[in-house]
């Protein structure tokens, strides 16, 4: 339990930030899933469009500190490789 007013404030702040970060991570995962489902369907046009929408979401996640820079880079690289491999 928090013993000081500052510690109590940090608890409140951390709960708010955790909710924001969770929402942002969920948005990123949703965008990635849209790309993966388009790839699974074999729809190159939809996959490219979904990838184009997912990349800025991942970049925002990196900027906000939700995901690591290399993680986003790796995911973007692997997804783009799979999209370009579609016939």
Contacts of 69 (CB under 8 A, 6+ apart): 62
Q: In whole angstroms, what is the distance from residue 19 CA to residue 54 CA?
A: 21
Two structure tokens written together for 15: 């709960």
pLDDT per position as a tens digit, 5-62? 999 999 999 999 999 999 999 999 999 999 999 999 999 999 999 999 999 999 999 9
Q: Which domains can be identified in the chain, with CATH numbers?
A: 5-85 (1.20.58.110)
Which pLDDT does position 87 carry in this prediction? 78
- The whole-number pLDDT of residue 44 equals 95
Tokens of 84: 């370009």
State the pLDDT at residue 2. Answer: 86
pLDDT of residue 35: 97
Kindly tell me if the per-residue pLDDT of 85 is higher than 90: yes
Q: What does the buried/exposed string (b/e) look like for 3-20 if buried means 16 or more CB atoms within 10 Å of the residue's CB?
A: eeeeeeeeeeeeeeeeee
pTM exceeds 0.75 = yes
Q: How far from each other are the two terminal CA atoms of the chain, in whole angstroms?
A: 58
Which residues touch 27 (CB under 8 Å, ≥6 apart)? 57
pLDDT (mean) for 65-86: 96
């Amino acid at each position: 339990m928090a013993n000081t007013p500052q510690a109590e404030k940090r608890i409140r702040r951390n709960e708010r930030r955790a909710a924001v970060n969770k929402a942002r991570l969920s948005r990123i995962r949703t965008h990635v899933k849209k790309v993966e489902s388009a790839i699974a369907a074999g729809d190159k046009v939809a996959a490219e469009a979904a990838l184009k929408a997912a990349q800025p979401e991942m970049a925002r996640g990196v900027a906000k500190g939700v995901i690591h820079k290399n993680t986003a880079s790796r995911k973007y690289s692997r997804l783009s490789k799979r999209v370009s491999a579609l016939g």
